[in-house]
């Protein structure tokens, strides 16, 4: 009996083992087929084609890009399929850097070893690069929509911008570009740009942020004043020469490669479909740049907010969006004709907010135009309402969409650029919203960018830093940089953080960014003497600039108030609940009294004039001290109550 029981036990064990192997074999026998299609079917990195899953047990399986061991980190699944079902990648969808396999998994285990089916990507289709091989990386964000009016569509704008900056920091992106609508401008742009700068300053991100101006920057106010506010608030590229021209369009040259980034601006209307949006001066400038730089062994990128109706990425197929650039206007038509002459150009747009999941994010109009990448929205991606054939902002008013904020992470290699569409809240990439664009720079010598003209007076090496520092604050040791301790570094960093907090409105400028970087890296430095001296040097450059900015603001009392007060404020500061009483200067030619107030424009960037009782109050107005611009009020013109003069009254 014992022998029989033992024999039965052996047989039973064998059957269990065979049964287990059979299950494994059924899983391992799963099949993924992949047929590449399109004009680039033989090119590395191009994913266009049809994927079919077969020979797997019932249930759903998630497809992932994978390396030799497991699904790539930071990617959502490509699709979810049952046996016999297929998924198709579109034109210019990308096989990501580092992907060598495609796997199908049924549970949380996303290892290659336990996958239900595995497809080996052919060598000639794999990108030859690792992510670390990128020449440089950048984030593109659009439609950030900082909103101080608390519009329900934009209620997560501040949270989402903070999350976007956290993602850029984690990815160590070299810089950020924005494709317009940085603010909402429901009640004037000043406070919203102030909040935008505050969030940027408070973040740990220390790269440059280069903004494009969209239609919301033009929503409320005089267009010339609004464009000037955009220039001064964003700092453009941080170059004083560029800023002093007071033009909302400019260029940036990538420092290592010489690649060119062109930032255009809408210049006229809040609703781009109602008229011309570009001056011929801007289009002349744009066309001249392309002629001078095209086919010169460099990539050229255009960052321009609004797409064209029925044309290109975002709107070329179904026309869900109702307020794009209207091609019946001359400057829109001219803009389109220009980009069609330069097919190697890559234009990144925004404006529609359309969520990345719909896949309206790449087009070159069947090889008749440039490469077009259409971004979603940091603030509030829109969803398609198929019944009414439009885009709906309902997502932004529903808490279940609180973690939906989208943008692009871009890796630029020697001969290709990969645009990864991602959820910025979770820092995860959507494979079907990721695209590859051919690179047009096959080699490069490290580009050396000319030195910028500083916005702040420069102290040379002979400057007595210790003496200067002690004028502003007490430091534990003289700034000669001798025998510095970790405590000295900590004290200097604390003082620098206080200065950065007070000067946050310069968060886009060279000097601010350099001090911010120094504060973050100083505690880790081994050369304490050197880093301490650098901190003091950068601190003094900023604090010296803080002494400037004194301006005189004038008000013409056309309402003949008995008293005139000026309430000055920013998102962090104000000059009291009532404001300050203004000083009488003289009467103007019409007999109205002119009043003035002197203050530092680095502290305040908004003003409201009142009669002291708040029974009479003006609209909020943005303050600018650039070029000694002096604002005064004239209520005789209700549509343009403020005029800018470049002369002094006295």
CATH of the domain at 139: 3.60.21.10
Has residue 97 been placed in a domain?
A: yes
- Do 323 and 389 lie in one domain? The reply is yes
Q: Are residues 215 and 326 in the same domain?
A: yes
Which of these three, 79, 95, 125, is where a domain ends? 125
The answer as to whether 5 is a domain residue is: no
Where among 492, 513, 546 does a domain terminate? 546
Which residue among 438, 456, 490 closes a domain?
438
Q: What is the pLDDT of residues 530-567, one digit of tens each?
A: 888 888 888 877 776 666 667 778 888 888 899 999 99
Among candidate residues 198, 193, 197, 168, the one with its CA nearest the CA of residue 183: 193
358 domain residue, yes or no: yes
Evaluate if residue 643 carries a pLDDT over 60. no
Which DSSP category does 9 fall into?
H
pLDDT score recorded for residue 218: 92
**106 and 159 both lie in a single domain:** no
With CA atoms as reference, report the closest residue to 25 among 132, 91, 105, 116: 116
Does residue 14 fall inside a structural domain? Answer: no
Return d(Cα 544, Cα 472) in angstroms, integer.
10
**Helix or strand or coil: residue 621?**
strand
Crossing angle for the helix pair 190-202 and 223-234, to the nearest 10 degrees: 10
Same domain, 540 and 555: no
Domain of 566 in residue numbering reads as: 550-645
Residue 397 maps to a domain: yes
Please tell me whether residues 285 and 145 are part of one structural domain. yes
**Domain count of the fold of the chain:** 4
The per-residue pLDDT for range 186-205, each reduced to its tens digit, is 877 878 888 999 999 999 99
pLDDT score of 395:
63
Whether 36 and 112 share a structural domain = yes
Q: Is residue 17 part of a domain?
A: no
- Is 579 within 8 Å of 164 (Cβ atoms)? no
User: Are 87 and 119 members of one domain?
Assistant: yes
> Could you tell me if 278 and 139 lie in one domain?
yes
DSSP output for 87-151: EEE-TTBBPPTT--EEEEESSS--BSTT-SEEEEPPGGGS-S--GGG-SEEEEEE----B-SS--
Do 193 and 215 have their domain in common? yes
Work out the burial of residue 415: count CB atoms within 10 Å of its CB; fewer than 13 is exposed, 13-18 middle, 19 or more buried: middle
pTM score of the predicted model = 0.83
Q: Which pLDDT score is estimated for 168?
A: 97
Is 224 part of a structural domain of the chain? yes
* Encoded tokens for 382: 């829109």
Are residues 138 and 58 both part of a single domain? no
Q: Are residues 337 and 481 in the same domain?
A: no
Average pLDDT, the chain: 83
* Whether residue 146 sits in one domain with residue 106: no
Pick from 575, 635, 627, 645: which is nearest to 605 by CA?
575
* Choice among 420-434, 514-528, 634-648 with the minimum mean pLDDT: 634-648
What are the tens digits of pLDDT across the range 86-99?
Answer: 999 999 999 999 99
Q: What is the CATH number of the domain that holds 573?
A: 2.60.40
- Does residue 98 lie in a domain region? yes
């Amino acid at each position: 009996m014992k022998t029989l029981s033992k024999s039965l036990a052996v047989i039973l064990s064998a059957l269990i083992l065979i049964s287990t192997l059979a299950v494994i074999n059924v899983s391992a026998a799963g099949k993924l087929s992949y047929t590449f299609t399109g004009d680039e079917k033989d090119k590395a990195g191009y994913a266009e084609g049809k994927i079919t899953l077969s020979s797997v047990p019932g249930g759903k399986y998630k497809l992932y890009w994978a390396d030799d061991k497991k699904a790539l980190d930071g990617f959502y699944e490509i699709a979810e399929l049952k046996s016999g079902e297929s998924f198709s990648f579109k034109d210019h969808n990308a096989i990501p850097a580092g992907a060598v396999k495609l796997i199908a998994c049924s549970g949380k285990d996303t290892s290659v070893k336990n996958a239900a089916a595995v497809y080996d990507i052919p060598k000639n289709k794999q990108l030859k690069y690792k992510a670390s091989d990128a020449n440089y990386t950048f984030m593109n964000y659009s439609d950030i929509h900082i909103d101080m009016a608390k519009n329900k569509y934009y209620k997560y704008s501040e949270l989402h911008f903070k999350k976007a900056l956290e993602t850029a920091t984690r990815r160590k992106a070299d810089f950020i570009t924005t494709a317009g609508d940085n603010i909402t401008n429901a009640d004037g742009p000043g406070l919203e740009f102030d909040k935008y700068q505050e969030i940027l300053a408070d973040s740990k991100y220390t790269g440059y942020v280069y903004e494009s101006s969209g239609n919301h920057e033009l929503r409320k106010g005089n267009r010339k004043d609004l464009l000037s506010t955009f220039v001064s608030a964003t700092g453009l590229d941080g170059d004083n020469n560029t800023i002093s021209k007071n033009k909302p369009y400019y260029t940036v040259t990538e420092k290592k490669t010489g690649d060119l980034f062109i930032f255009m601006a809408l210049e006229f209307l809040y609703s781009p479909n109602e008229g011309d949006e570009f001056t011929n001066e801007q289009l002349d400038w744009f066309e001249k740049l392309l002629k001078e730089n095209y086919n010169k062994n460099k990539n050229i990128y255009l960052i321009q907010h609004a797409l064209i109706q029925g044309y290109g990425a975002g709107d070329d197929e179904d026309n869900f969006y109702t307020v794009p650039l209207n091609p019946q206007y001359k400057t829109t038509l001219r803009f389109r004709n220009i980009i069609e002459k330069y097919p190697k150009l890559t234009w990144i747009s925004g404006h529609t907010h359309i969520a990345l999941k719909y896949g309206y994010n790449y087009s070159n109009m069947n090889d008749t135009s440039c490469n077009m990448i259409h971004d979603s929205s940091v603030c509030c991606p829109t969803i398609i309402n198929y019944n009414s054939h439009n885009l709906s902002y309902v997502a932004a008013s529903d808490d279940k969409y609180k973690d939906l904020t989208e943008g692009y992470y871009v890796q630029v290699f020697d001969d290709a650029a990969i645009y990864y569409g991602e959820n910025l809240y979770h820092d995860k990439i959507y494979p079907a919203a990721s695209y590859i664009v051919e690179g047009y720079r096959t080699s490069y010598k490290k580009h050396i960018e000319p030195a910028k003209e500083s916005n702040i007076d420069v102290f040379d090496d002979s400057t007595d830093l210790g003496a200067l520092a002690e004028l502003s604050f007490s430091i534990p040791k003289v700034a000669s940089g001798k025998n510095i301790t970790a405590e000295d570094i900590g004290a200097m960093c604390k003082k620098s953080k206080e200065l950065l907090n007070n000067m946050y409105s310069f968060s886009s400028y060279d000097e601010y960014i350099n001090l911010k970087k120094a504060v973050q890296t100083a505690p880790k430095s081994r050369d304490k003497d050197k880093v301490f001296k650098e901190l003091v040097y950068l601190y003094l450059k900023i604090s010296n600039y803080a002494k400037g900015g004194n301006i005189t603001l004038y008000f013409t009392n056309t309402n003949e108030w008995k008293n005139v007060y000026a309430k000055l404020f920013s998102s962090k500061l104000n000059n009291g609940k009532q404001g300050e009483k203004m000083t009488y200067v003289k009467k103007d030619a019409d007999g109205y009294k002119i009043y003035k107030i002197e203050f530092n424009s680095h502290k305040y960037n908004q003003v409201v004039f009142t009669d002291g009782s708040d029974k009479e109050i003006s609209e909020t107005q943005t303050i600018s001290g650039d070029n000694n611009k002096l604002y005064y009020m004239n209520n005789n013109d209700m549509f343009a109550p403020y005029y800018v003069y470049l002369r002094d009254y006295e």
